[in-house]
Amino acid sequence: MRTEDERYFEQLESQLEAAFEVAEEAKERGGDPEPDVEIPTARDMADRVENILGIDGVAERVRELEGEMSREEAALELAEDFAEGRVGDYETKAGKVEGAVRTAVALLTEGVVAAPIEGIDRVEILTNDDGTEFVNVYYAGPIRSAGGTAQALSVLVADYTRALVGIEQYDARQEEIERYAEEIALYDKETGLQYCPKDKEAKFIAKHLPIMLDGEATGDEEVSGFRDLERVDTNSARGGMCLVLGEGIALKAPKIQRYTRNLDEIDWPWLQDLIDGNYAADAEDDEDADNADTEDGNDEGDSDEESETDAEGAAETDEVDPDDETSDEDSDDDEGPPRVGKSEKFLRDLIAGRPVFSHPCAAGGFRLRYGRARNHGFATAGVHPAAMHLVDDFLATGTQIKTERPGKAAGVVPVDSIEGPTVKLANGDVRQVDDPAEAKEIRNGVEAILDLGEYLVNYGEFVENNHPLAPASYTPEWWIQDIEAAGADIQALQDDPRIDLEHPDPDEAIEWALEYNAPLHPMYTYLWHDLTVEAFCALADAVAAGRVERRLDETGGGVDILVLEYTEATREALETIVIEHRQREGSGEDDGRIEIDDWRPLARSLGCEIRRTATDGSSHSPGANVSPDGPDASTPSATIELERTWSDDDLSECARTWGHEDQPDGSNAVEAVNEVAPFDIRERSPTRIGNRMGRPEKSERRDLSPPVHTLFPISEAGGAQRNVADAAKHAETMSDTPGIVEIQIGRQQCPSCGTETFKNRCPDCETRTEPDYRCPDCEQSLDPDDSGRVECGRCEIEGTCVETREVDINDEFRSALESVGERENAFEILKGVKGLTSSNKVPEPIEKGVLRAKHDVSAFKDGTVRYDMTDLPVTSVRANELDIDVGQLQALGYEEDIHGEPLVHEDQLVELNVQDIVLSDGAAEHMMQTADFIDDLLEQYYGLEPFYELEDRQDLVGELVFGMAPHTSAATVGRVIGFTSAAVGYAHPYFHAAKRRNCDGDEDCVMLLMDGLLNFSRSFLPDKRGGRMDAPLVMSSRIDPSEIDDEAHNMDIVSQYPREFYLATLEQADPEDVDIQIGEDTLGTDGEYTGFEHTHDVTDIAMGPDLSAYKTLGSMMDKMNAQLELSRKLAAVDETDVAERVIEYHFLPDLIGNLRAFSRQETRCLDCGEKFRRMPLTGDCRECGGRVNLTVHQGSVNKYMQTAIEVAEEYDCRDYTKQRLEVLEKSLESIFENDKNKQSGIEDFM
Amino acid sequence: MPLEGPARIVSELTSRGYNAEREAVTHIAAADHPAAVLEQVVEEMPDDALVVRTDHVEAVLAAGVRQPTSAQDSASDPEPDPDFDTDSVPDTPGADPSVSTGERSADQHDPTGSVPAETGGSGSAADTDSKPSARVERDTDPSLRSLEIDGDMTGDSTGTGEYDDFVAVFRDRLERLGGKLRGRVNHRPATAIQSMPGGSEAGMVGLVNDIRSTASGHWLIELEDATGTFPWLVMKDREFADMVDQLLCDEVLAMEGTLSDDAGIAFVDSMYFPDVPRTHEPSTADRHVQAALISDVHVGSQEFMADAWDAFADWLYTEQAQHVEYLLIAGDMVEGVGVYPNQDEELDVVDIYEQYEVFNDRLKQVPGDLDIVMIPGNHDAVRLAEPQPGFDDRLRDIMSAHDPQIVSNPSTVTVEGVSILMYHGVSLDEVIAELPEEKASYDEPHKAMYQLLKKRHVAPQFGGHTRLAPEEEDFLVMDEVPDIFHTGHVHKLGFGKYHNVLAINSGCWQAQTDFQKSVNINPDSGFAPIVDLDTLDVTVQKFS
């Protein structure tokens, strides 16, 4: 590690420590459930593993083993330690196995995700039929987040430990084996598995597994056969077990085999058969029950509709499925240009309001350009901000798109150093728009979007997705290397101040191409590959027939423009090759013509010689036409004529029939261009990438619904709003004392004076109280044992401290107000909770709620205040885009810019430190409120000095926060560096990876450091499956790049891709075969925290719209109309297909699903909320006598019916679709209309 | 006998190769000399017309009807039949066209004509593998037929999907099925039982609200009546404990037992289903006449078995089939649209209306003198929720061949005294899934039907697989015990008798689909069960 990095981390850690001290002092004083900060700090993975598991000694052992072996081997080594009692304090064999299994999973998930604690419920010892004992591991749903390898390895570790502690193997009964097979198929149908083993395979695995896999029921659907088994508690599918068996063992068999081979104690010889698929013979005897559980073959209406809604999940996890691409990637014969195959997967499950931007590989769609912008990489896609505006603002920074390749989804980032979209305006101008401001200006006049511009994808994406490189667009960065390879002195050109190598003028471009015999500059390379050879010939004729006019420009100088006759064919051809021009339709003086400004490269590409004719008609020699057409070179009297120098027959057979094998012959004019043009032309944009909008970006405070200010229970007394003030006045009857409410709450006892209370501090003597556990049967007081379990020795049942008691909410509320010195009018409303869901039901002091309400922040279930943002990466930043000044950057330790120059200007780029994050404006404001709340809390509740004292948001810079992702249990410490108007959370990709997120539209939250330290408590966490997920059970104070999600290691970190790379893309080479430095290459070196270079700069990391139109448009109908409207404008989108898909994937499933739900619905009491499977025969609620009503009404069933019919009509959908709607509409009528009242005419009333 | 005239006219027209609009037939029947009008209509039909329309008849009537010269003359000169392969008509003396038509015209004048001599004894000897034998001229006497429909709710769907409609349906169920049980136990309302002292004897009739097993392996069944619910405990060691396996939610039951000491629960001593009385004696036809009971034609599917259907239609013209006078189709005429995702990729005919047109063409193949009754199924273009009304007018107009009776699912059709409950059978899936395999399985679908008969309801369980549309009464109740219970849907053939009621699940006319293949279902395709209505014996004809 470099000293700078060391300094950086020390700075963070000392800041953290200072905050810790304050928090510790506060905690000692307050009435929190614990007198200490409840989030332990972990400096490395070993710490996290130990802290998440809560098993002492693990960290030390992990560190010992870490240098010597892989994590998998370490897990097995630890299993031995557990078995022999060297680690962990377990007396039972089951406990030892459990400890080993949990540790293995924690180790393999780097101690971040919740799988080891939430995904493994328990391990128990059961008895085989022959009386021997075996191990049963009880999995739960959250094991999913561990991933297949860790799941599979957990089984291996369980078996290994079992062997070491001397327990026999599991001998599955026949019905249990059958049950596994049926259950896995059921789970796959219901929820979907990444890989679902076939019946035979599942049975084979089940039969041979040396330990029993069990788990809790995760679904409602029950198996039809093999029910009520003695050793299986449930008839429903056990999700955790299915995952472990399917995605774990079955899918990762080769991986486990690697480890079983080295272990003498255990023997899994059957793995080889499993890998070879050699399990048929073994399973033959179990064949009979296979066809029992099915329904009528074609009447799968129900089941398939269900799987229709599952399709998203299936599509997302469909990794083993070979892409449905018509891939030609392997058939690399010399015929035709290189192309990627189409993939329609991303269009699946298109829903209303989320537009398609480009159909698969469609001309006019986004053009793939390679490179990494500084706010890019790690599952993101760079789009020009002008394009974001022009797609009617549907794309904003952070909007997720589902994409054709290389991955499945990506977060959109604005990149303005790539080409913008080309549009046709209502006045006939065809323009490329490279300026977001211009895009906004002309937006209303856009008639068609002919081309969406470039789409930046970095090399690392292809590595990560193991996708063959797609042919690259021809871009200046490649051209520069081409021309250099051709012998040009590129350094001289670059140094020449008059030359802009990215945007040369046309004559320069032609000159270079001719001089160096290099390909024409990309700026003047048009999209010839989209033009047919036929149209190419016609265009050459049209251009040859055109005339050159001289026109005065604004500066008074004259420019030549090419004027062509307006014909449909010419117009179409020019629109196809995407060249800027002006179309003047009609018959006026200036009409019926098409004007092209920079026409020379076009004319030359079309094989037209440019001849200068004097007024007398004599022409100059052809050699003269290369001379720049400056004002000095010609006299006004000279006219220019174009001559087509070739005839159609001159084209070779190859050029005439050139085209990809999927296209008709002659659909690609590139070869023709190369034959007639005096220079080489590369394919400009051979790869188009289809995509559509996924979910919108997010930057919102996380509120429970309804929002909660204090985790204090008030039962139903606070009304639906859960208003504490109302509860304080609530009285059931006139004779009750207002504010006395019966609630379930944990009983505490004061150890010194014996007072019984529910508070954490004795109201009489201020001593900290202890939970008062009693046996629910015999009332005997109990003490928890070492593992925290409380059991009554006599009654053999679990003790509890929860009791139902009357609490004077009024008194609690008033005294809380008094204790923090606030009046009731300090806030609008103070919301509590109905009841507590934690095991001991420890309430939070109301005081905290009072102050939260005062500052309008709300608590999450764990007591913290959170703000959610979409994750985006950024590796270098400028002070001016972060709304901070250089001084602030310097104060944070930034001294140099990315080139090593001293940092003095606001627009200098500096490389971001790995734990520095950029807050969205909304997040900054929310953090300010939280900071004010924390300051008040410290002052008014804990009696300490305020900690933050923020004046304005600039003061937030440098403050520490927690970043925390769903499904994980570890927070990562981050430091605020600045702010952005984009509704996203920008941070270093390694920071996101440390939280186990990538940036493909994922979102997670930030919390203010002191808030987490003061207000988080494990005691608040729900006592149910998954309750400990999304809670900061541990925090990582520093990021170790080798302990983060390795997806981030695949990000490339160079400033230029070599020419070999571009050439390799044309071969569609494997990305691994190209040498470009990625993050992985620097792991473990001094440079692992630094040197994240980029190939493309961006002006500002927040460009384009701040919010996607999806969020600013109101109703679903508005969104859908905008979506369909946009589809009409986009050349790359087939609006009929969009309409079909919206109907097929959104409206029809909704209609069908709701109609089905209607005719099998539950009912619910409007008064007490009781649910009934079927309408009670009494008509009224059996619980309270209240009114019962349907849960699915006519309105919710047919809300989309008319819209769907209209859309189908307007967008000319297939008859099949229309008829489906027709049949449904009739069904709705039949159910919701009375046949007898339908045709009510006037005679009915006479 | 209002049906007789039209039926005869239709058969006459069909024998000459024409289909007819219903109204046209009515017109002819209403004329003074139907036979003469018919002759003249046929004579004046345009050459390319296949369907006799109202306007044809009106034209003839307007022009004035000639008196018939002789019935024999006109009948002995039949038009060639465009729908049928005339080559296959055998040229045997026994089937001399003029003779048989002559006989028929005689019948026309003598509606009380005697039963043909060759009646009797052919059905039970059927060879299931027999190839269709030579085509004979069918010799049937429409005047002997009778066909009545009961329980058709088409056009009577009055429910509007309100909560009260649902409540009304379940109350009606309890009312009607409970009525069959109240005599058997000393029943009390749930609220009355709740206030009875511990140890009392009590009886109750109600809908099964909930079935649970207790920790100790007993069964707790909650019965609900119009006043409330009461829990009944079936001890696991009672002889009827295994009957609990057969219970479905929302079926009607009667229970009798003893209240526990705290009167919070009752221990069941006996349990009664509405059931079919063991003494049930089915009605039979007075003559030897047969009905073909089929279902699940699935026209429009790529897997529709055209050859099998052709064979079936041809067979109906054979000697062997001459007593088959009724054709009952229990739903899924066509494959439908949008029944499952991406169904269009597996459709032979994608257009739903065209599917019905093709089905109609298929229907034309069968002899015109058959009386046809059809109900819709879950693939048909009607609502999925049950009861399903019969097809709408547009589809009826398409399916006009042989003027079939189109009624709701379920409906009861009484043919010559034999009542046949037709129900498509969606609930069978649920019965098979919920009940133990020996009670109901796809291999023996009729056993699942026995369960429905026992419960006297075609789709008892609410909230599961079967969809319910609330109507003012529960059309799914089996008020009367049918003589035959006919279902389809599961594409498996099976029949048997339950308390003398013949339960038939007909197979299908669709070969194994990819989906069925993937889940290893082997459908029974191309079978037609033929029932002797005078004996209720079944023979199965195989056509594939």
Alpha helices for B371-475 (secondary structure H): 393-398, 426-434, 445-455
- Asked if residue A260 lies in contact with residue A266, where contact means CB atoms within 8 angstroms, the answer is yes
Burial A108-123 (b: 16+ CB within 10 A, else e): bbbbbbbbbbbbbbeb
Kindly state whether residue B493 falls inside one of the protein's structural domains: yes
Residues B199 and B217 in one domain: yes
Q: Assess B161–A contact: CB distance below 8 Å, yes or no.
A: yes
Residues A488 and A380 in one domain: no
Q: How far is CA B87 from CA B120, B135, B146, in A?
A: 29, 10, 33
> For residue A1173, which residues of chain B lie inside 8 Å, CB to CB?
209-210, 249, 462-463
Residue B299 phi, psi (nearest 5): -65, 140
How many inter-chain contacts (A to B, CB under 8 Å) are there?
Answer: 187
Query: Residue A1162 and residue B392: Cβ atoms within 8 Å?
Result: no
Minimal Cβ distance to B515: which of A297, A1179, A1190? A297
Kindly state whether residue B76 falls inside one of the protein's structural domains: yes
Residues B298 and B264 in one domain: no
Minimal Cβ distance to B379: which of A298, A1193, A1227? A298
- Closest by Cα among A859, A854, A813, A817 to A836: A859
Q: Residue B190: which residues within 8 A CB-CB, separation 6 or more?
A: B204, B206, B223, B224, B225, B227, B228, B229, B230
**Pairing between β-strand A1163-1165 and β-strand A984-987 as defined by DSSP bridges:** unpaired
Given a cut of 80, is residue A325 above it in pLDDT?
A: no
Residue B402 phi, psi (nearest 5): 65, 20
Residue A334 confidence class, pLDDT cut points 50, 70, 90:
low
Q: Assess A951–B contact: CB distance below 8 Å, yes or no.
A: no
Residue appearing with tokens 């593993």: A49
> For residue B166, which residues of chain A lie inside 8 Å, CB to CB?
1163, 1175, 1190
Kindly state whether residue B73 falls inside one of the protein's structural domains: yes
How far away is chain B from the Cα of A407, in angstroms, using its nearest Cα? 25
Residue A255 confidence class, pLDDT cut points 50, 70, 90:
confident
Q: What's the CA gap between A827 and A850, in Å, rounded?
A: 8
Structural domain that includes position B33: 4-114
Q: What's the CA gap between A965 and A1002, in Å, rounded?
A: 9
Residues A63 and A199 in one domain: yes
Residues B194 and B300 in one domain: no
Kindly state whether residue A746 falls inside one of the protein's structural domains: yes
What is the rounded average pLDDT of the residues A968-989? Answer: 95
A759-762 long-range Cβ contacts below 8 angstroms, 24+ apart: A759/A31, A759/A843, A759/A845, A760/A31, A760/A32, A760/A33, A760/A842, A760/A845, A761/A30, A761/A31
Q: Which residue of A has its CA nearest to B336?
A: A1220
CATH number, domain containing residue B237? 2.40.50.140
Residues A460 and A555 in one domain: no
Question: Last residue of a domain, which of B230, B250, B272?
Answer: B272
Residues B305 and B257 in one domain: no
Pick from A119-133, A140-154, B102-116, B239-253: least confident:
B102-116
Query: Residue A297 and residue B437: Cβ atoms within 8 Å?
Result: no
Question: Last residue of a domain, which of B272, B292, B310?
Answer: B272
Minimal Cβ distance to B337: which of A307, A1175, A1220? A1220
Burial A188-199 (b: 16+ CB within 10 A, else e): bbbbbbbbbbeb
Whole-number pLDDT of residue A309: 38
Strand partners, A549: A561
- Asked if residue B287 lies in contact with residue B143, where contact means CB atoms within 8 angstroms, the answer is no
Whole-number pLDDT of residue A885: 94
Q: Assess A1219–B contact: CB distance below 8 Å, yes or no.
A: yes
CA B357 from centroid of its chain's CA atoms: 21
Residue A282 confidence class, pLDDT cut points 50, 70, 90:
low
Pick from A361-375, A1115-1129, B86-100: least confident:
B86-100
Kindly state whether residue A1222 falls inside one of the protein's structural domains: yes
Q: Assess A1191–B contact: CB distance below 8 Å, yes or no.
A: no
Residues A707 and A800 in one domain: yes
Whole-number pLDDT of residue B62: 73
Residues A826 and A708 in one domain: yes
CATH number, domain containing residue B364? 3.60.21.50
Structural domain that includes position A1177: 1141-1232
What is the rounded average pLDDT of the residues A284-301? Answer: 41
Q: Assess B298–A contact: CB distance below 8 Å, yes or no.
A: yes
Total domain count for chain B? 3
**Which of A221, A1177, A1201, A1215 has the most B C-beta neighbours within 10 Å, making it the best mutation to test the interface with B?**
A1177
Given a cut of 50, is residue A303 above it in pLDDT?
A: no
Residues A907 and A1028 in one domain: yes
Kindly state whether residue B136 falls inside one of the protein's structural domains: no
Neighbours of A1118 (CB within 10 A): 13
Question: Which DSSP string corresponds to A766-796?
Answer: -PBPEE-EE-TTT--EE---TTS--B-TTT-
Residues A671 and A527 in one domain: yes
Minimal Cβ distance to B160: which of A1220, A1227, A1232? A1232
Query: Residue A297 and residue B521: Cβ atoms within 8 Å?
Result: yes
Q: How far is CA A764 from CA A130, A578, A635, A841, in A?
A: 61, 82, 105, 21
Query: Residue B519 and residue A1182: Cβ atoms within 8 Å?
Result: no
Residues B265 and B340 in one domain: no
Kindly state whether residue A322 falls inside one of the protein's structural domains: no
Neighbours of A738 (CB within 10 A): 15
Q: How many residues does chain A have?
A: 1246
Residue B10 phi, psi (nearest 5): -60, -45
Whole-number pLDDT of residue B245: 86
Residues A767 and A653 in one domain: no
Kindly state whether residue A335 falls inside one of the protein's structural domains: no
Query: Residue A224 and residue B378: Cβ atoms within 8 Å?
Result: no
Kindly state whether residue B167 falls inside one of the protein's structural domains: no
Residues A1078 and A1155 in one domain: no
- Closest by Cα among B138, B149, B153, B150 to B107: B138
Query: Residue B510 and residue A1160: Cβ atoms within 8 Å?
Result: no
Pick from A219-228, A881-890, B96-105, B138-147: least confident:
B96-105
- Asked if residue A919 lies in contact with residue A991, where contact means CB atoms within 8 angstroms, the answer is no
Q: Residue B324: which residues within 8 A CB-CB, separation 6 or more?
A: B290, B291, B292, B316, B370, B530
Q: What's the CA gap between B34 and B65, in Å, rounded?
A: 10
Residues A1078 and A1002 in one domain: yes
Q: Assess B344–A contact: CB distance below 8 Å, yes or no.
A: yes
Q: Which pair of structure tokens corresponds to residue B304?
A: 């529709």
> For residue A1198, which residues of chain B lie inside 8 Å, CB to CB?
none
Total domain count for chain A? 6
Name the B residues in 511-540 with CB < 8 Å from any A CB: 512-513, 515-516, 519-523
Query: Residue A1223 and residue B352: Cβ atoms within 8 Å?
Result: yes
Name the B residues in 209-268 with CB < 8 Å from any A CB: 209-210, 213, 224-229, 249-250
* Residuewise pLDDT in 10s, chain B (544 residues): 444 566 677 777 777 767 777 777 777 777 777 777 777 777 777 767 777 777 777 777 777 655 544 434 433 344 444 443 334 333 333 334 333 333 333 333 433 333 333 333 333 334 444 444 567 777 778 888 899 999 899 888 888 889 999 999 999 999 999 999 998 999 999 999 999 998 999 999 999 999 988 878 899 999 999 999 999 999 988 888 888 888 999 999 999 999 999 888 999 999 999 999 999 999 999 999 999 999 999 999 999 999 999 999 999 999 899 999 999 999 999 999 988 888 888 899 999 999 999 999 999 999 999 999 999 999 999 999 999 999 999 999 999 989 999 999 999 999 999 999 999 999 999 999 888 888 888 889 999 999 999 999 999 999 888 899 999 899 999 999 999 999 999 999 999 999 999 999 999 999 998 888 876 788 999 999 999 999 999 999 999 8
Name the B residues in 384-423 with CB < 8 Å from any A CB: 384-385, 389, 392
Q: Assess B468–A contact: CB distance below 8 Å, yes or no.
A: yes
Residues B302 and B378 in one domain: yes
CA A312 from centroid of its chain's CA atoms: 14
Name the A residues in 1148-1167 with CB < 8 Å from any B CB: 1148, 1152, 1155-1156, 1158-1163
- Asked if residue B527 lies in contact with residue B540, where contact means CB atoms within 8 angstroms, the answer is yes
Residues A826 and A874 in one domain: no
- Asked if residue A389 lies in contact with residue A440, where contact means CB atoms within 8 angstroms, the answer is yes
Q: Assess A1192–B contact: CB distance below 8 Å, yes or no.
A: no
- Asked if residue B387 lies in contact with residue B411, where contact means CB atoms within 8 angstroms, the answer is no
Which amino acid, residue A360? P
Kindly state whether residue A1237 falls inside one of the protein's structural domains: no
Query: Residue A1175 and residue B166: Cβ atoms within 8 Å?
Result: yes
Kindly state whether residue B370 falls inside one of the protein's structural domains: yes
Q: Is the dihedral of CA B299, B304, B310, B313 positive or negative?
A: negative
Strand partners, A430: A424, A581
> For residue B158, which residues of chain A lie inside 8 Å, CB to CB?
1234-1236
Q: What is the pLDDT of residues A1066-1119, one digit of tens each?
A: 999 999 999 999 999 999 899 999 999 999 999 999 999 999 999 999 898 899
> For residue A304, which residues of chain B lie inside 8 Å, CB to CB?
340-341
Kindly state whether residue A245 falls inside one of the protein's structural domains: yes
Q: Where are the beta strands (DSSP E) in B377-439?
A: 405-406, 411-415, 418-422
Residues B324 and B393 in one domain: yes
Residues B240 and B315 in one domain: no
Whole-number pLDDT of residue A311: 38
Minimal Cβ distance to B516: which of A297, A1152, A1224? A297
Query: Residue A1178 and residue B157: Cβ atoms within 8 Å?
Result: no
DSSP 3-state percent helix, strand, coil across chain B (nearest 5): 30, 20, 50
Residue A99 confidence class, pLDDT cut points 50, 70, 90:
very high
Q: Assess A290–B contact: CB distance below 8 Å, yes or no.
A: yes
Q: How far is CA A260 from CA A76, A154, A163, B92, B246, in A?
A: 10, 13, 13, 82, 48
Pick from A133-137, A292-296, A908-912, B150-154: least confident:
A292-296
Residues B456 and B354 in one domain: yes
Residues B350 and B463 in one domain: yes
Query: Residue B160 and residue A294: Cβ atoms within 8 Å?
Result: no
Strand partners, A984: A870
Residue B256, SS3?
strand
Query: Residue A291 and residue B469: Cβ atoms within 8 Å?
Result: no
Question: Last residue of a domain, which of A804, A826, A854?
Answer: A854
Residue A134 phi, psi (nearest 5): -140, 170
Given a cut of 70, is residue A1204 above it in pLDDT?
A: yes
Q: Assess B338–A contact: CB distance below 8 Å, yes or no.
A: yes
Q: In what order do the strands lie in the sheet with A380-383?
A: A356-358, A691-693, A400-403, A409-414, A380-383, A454-457, A366-370, A688-689
Residues A771 and A871 in one domain: no
Whole-number pLDDT of residue B124: 36
Whole-number pLDDT of residue B12: 73
Minimal Cβ distance to B378: which of A292, A301, A1216? A301
Query: Residue B228 and residue A308: Cβ atoms within 8 Å?
Result: no
- Closest by Cα among B333, B348, B360, B491 to B425: B491
Q: Residue A1206: which residues within 8 A CB-CB, separation 6 or more?
A: none
Q: What's the CA gap between A1160 and B469, in Å, rounded?
A: 9
Kindly state whether residue A459 falls inside one of the protein's structural domains: yes
Which amino acid, residue A809? I
Q: Assess A1234–B contact: CB distance below 8 Å, yes or no.
A: yes
Residues B322 and B246 in one domain: no
Query: Residue A290 and residue B520: Cβ atoms within 8 Å?
Result: yes
Whole-number pLDDT of residue B440: 87
Name the A residues in 1112-1151 with CB < 8 Å from any B CB: 1148
